[in-house]
Structure 1
Amino acid sequence: MSIQPVDVLYTAVATAENGRDGKVASSDGQLEVVVNPPKEMGGSGAGTNPEQLFAAGYSACFQGALGVVARQEKADISGSTVTAEVGIGKTPEGGFGLKVAIRADIPNVDAATAQALVEKAHQVCPYSSATRGNIEVTVSA
């Protein structure tokens, strides 16, 4: 797999303090959150965590990609939602890895059309492109 060049249109910048048990802020001041490991990983669960932030970004990006595909296919996706589940766990090598499940609910199309739209969106979503071949990602409608 080769790295494709990108003509950058926008760059987001965020800085973390104290890793998974601190805070994260964007350079423009629009985002500032306390981060804390979930209880399942020994934290208090008092703040958000990186997996929630990744799930939020991935679901929003995927919904945007779904909109692009729907316009191309002239499909009605009004009222649709995209949910991203991001799991973190230990790998056989002893490190940690991620696993993602993307689910789209598209009420105005039949099941086969919804699944086809989701699969096409998975090919154009920048988050899907970034994770392809790196982590397990499943998509469903």
Structure 2
Amino acid sequence: MPRHHFHLKATWKGGRNGTGTIAAGNLQQQISIPKEMDGPGVGTNPDEMLIGAAATCYLITLAAIIERKQLPVTKLSLETEGIVKVENKFTFEKIIHRPHLLVKKEATEKEWEMIRHATEMAERSCMISNALRGNVELAVEAEFETCE
């Protein structure tokens, strides 16, 4: 069974409000605690990287499904929201994907049904979603628009 290995190197200077760097393949970035959590807000942070991983996995998976099924989608974009609950500890509570799909106006009813289904199927098929499922609530709120 093939396996893929991904590696990350990190450095850190200081305590809680310090800063660091990460490097993993093409990803090279400064890191710190976000300002919203009373940190310095330098570079990115784990919360942004988690929704970034979830969003890019979802988007790529959705694009692959659309291509494989040859669905009449001309443009695909995505906004993703991550919600962190603060009680006794920080808990990543929910990730909401909001894909926006432009669909050719001549799409059939069956194609429309397949497109709607694809937006849900992509969340269930994405490797990152599957790693998070059971720990973080995952939702899809798709928007569709017709085009010429």
Which residue does the alignment assign to 1:26?
A: 23
How far does the alpha carbon of each residue in 1:33-64 deviate from its partner, in whole angstroms, 9 at most, with x for none?
A: 11122222001223211111222222111111
Higher Rg of the two aligned structures: 2
Name which of 81, 84, 87 aligns with 1:85.
81
Structure 2 gap ranges (5+): 143-148
- Counterparts of 1:118 and 1:74 in 2: how far apart (Å)? 14
Structure 1 gap ranges (5+): 1-5
TM-score normalized by the length of structure 2: 0.74
Which residue does the alignment assign to 1:59?
A: 55
Please tell me the residue identity of whatever aligns with 2:44.
T
- Counterparts of 1:21 and 1:83 in 2: how far apart (Å)? 30
> Shift in Å at residue 27 of structure 1?
4.6
- Counterparts of 1:24 and 1:63 in 2: how far apart (Å)? 26
- Secondary structure in 2 matching 1:43: coil
Residue identity over aligned pairs, in percent, reads 22
- Counterparts of 2:89 and 2:6 in 1: how far apart (Å)? 27
Return the structure number with greater strand share.
2
Q: Report the aligned-residue RMSD.
A: 2.5
> Shift in Å at residue 119 of structure 1?
0.4
Name which of 46, 49, 52 aligns with 1:50.
46
> Shift in Å at residue 121 of structure 1?
0.7
Alpha carbons 1:51, 1:87 under 8 Å: kept:
no
- Secondary structure in 2 matching 1:48: coil
Alpha carbons 2:17, 2:40 under 8 Å: kept:
no
TM-score normalized by the length of structure 1: 0.77
1:17 aligns with 2:11: yes
